[in-house]
């Protein structure tokens, strides 16, 4: 009788169960997940830290020159109205950022009157008057200016920006 009970007990031990958290694949998955989570946390913290640091702003003269020199040399892609709108808008933004003048929302004539009363040299105001006058003729009268005149005003506006740049940046 002792032999029979012994055989029946061995029969039970053939079936055994290993919990999933004790398997090899589970531990590999857990390690890869933990490393991924740590990398995600480090990336998030670095991204958040960089977002706190303000981006260095480009100087006003550099932004204006890039925008003006990026205008097409031929007026085929933009109308003269848009061309002068870009030139006058860029010059207004340049003087506002460069000198701190409050030119936001002012018309071309108001800008000229404002700059006349400020400490802006007369030759620059005179050149701005020429550019803004040609701009008004194109923006509101739909006058078809010659391409040479548009290019002259473009080169004149680039010259204005270059003349008013800080001395150490020229």
Tens-of-pLDDT digits for all 170 residues of the chain? 555 555 555 555 556 677 888 889 999 999 999 999 999 999 999 999 888 877 778 888 899 999 988 887 665 677 778 888 889 899 999 989 888 888 888 888 888 888 888 878 889 889 988 988 888 777 665 555 567 788 888 899 999 999 988 876 65
pLDDT at 6: 53
Helix and strand numbers (H, E) in the chain are: 7, 0
Tell me, yes or no, whether 74 and 35 share the same domain.
no
Q: How far is CA 131 from CA 37, 65, 109, 163, in A?
A: 59, 16, 11, 16
**Residues spanned by the domain of 101:** 60-169
Tell me what pLDDT residue 16 has.
64
Question: Residue 57 in 3-state DSSP?
Answer: coil
pTM: 0.64
Distance of CA 121 to the CA centre of its chain: 32
How many domains is the chain built from? 2
Residues 121 and 140 in one domain: yes
Identify whether residues 27 and 100 lie together within a single domain. no
The reply to whether 79 and 122 lie within a common domain is yes
CATH code of residue 118 = 1.20.120
Task: Report pLDDT for 78.
Answer: 76
**What's the rounded Cα separation, in Å, for the pair 133 and 56?**
35
Same domain membership, residue 144 and residue 121: yes
* CA–CA distance, 6 with 1 (Å, rounded to integer): 9
Regarding whether 157 and 75 lie in a shared domain, the answer is: yes
83 and 46 belong to one structural domain: no
Q: Are residues 135 and 78 located together in one domain of the fold?
A: yes
Residue 57 φ/ψ, nearest 5 degrees: -80, 140
Whether residue 105 sits in one domain with residue 83? yes
Q: What is the pLDDT of residue 12?
A: 57
Q: Quick one: 87 and 147 in the same domain? A: yes
Which residue, 32, 52, 72, sits at the end of a domain? 52
Same domain, 33 and 72: no
Same domain, 48 and 69: no
**What is the pLDDT, as a whole number, of residue 144?**
56
- The angle formed by the CA atoms of residues 159, 99 and 130, to the nearest 5 degrees, is 40
């Amino acid at each position: 009788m002792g032999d029979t009970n012994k055989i029946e007990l061995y029969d039970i031990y053939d079936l055994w169960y290993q919990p999933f958290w004790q398997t090899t694949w589970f531990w590999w998955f857990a390690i890869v997940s933990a490393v991924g989570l740590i990398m995600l946390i480090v990336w998030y913290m670095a991204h958040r830290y960089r977002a706190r640091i303000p981006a260095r702003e480009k100087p006003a003269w550099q932004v204006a020159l890039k925008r003006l020199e990026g205008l097409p040399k031929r007026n085929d892609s933009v109308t003269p109205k848009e061309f002068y709108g870009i030139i006058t808008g860029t010059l207004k933004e340049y003087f506002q950022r460069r000198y701190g003048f409050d030119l936001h929302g002012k018309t071309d004539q108001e800008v000229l009157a404002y700059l006349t009363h400020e400490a802006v040299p007369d030759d620059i105001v005179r050149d701005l008057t020429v550019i803004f006058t040609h701009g008004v003729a194109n923006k509101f009268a739909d006058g078809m200016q010659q391409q040479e005149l548009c290019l002259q005003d473009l080169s004149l506006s680039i010259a204005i920006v270059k003349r008013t740049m800080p001395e150490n940046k020229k």
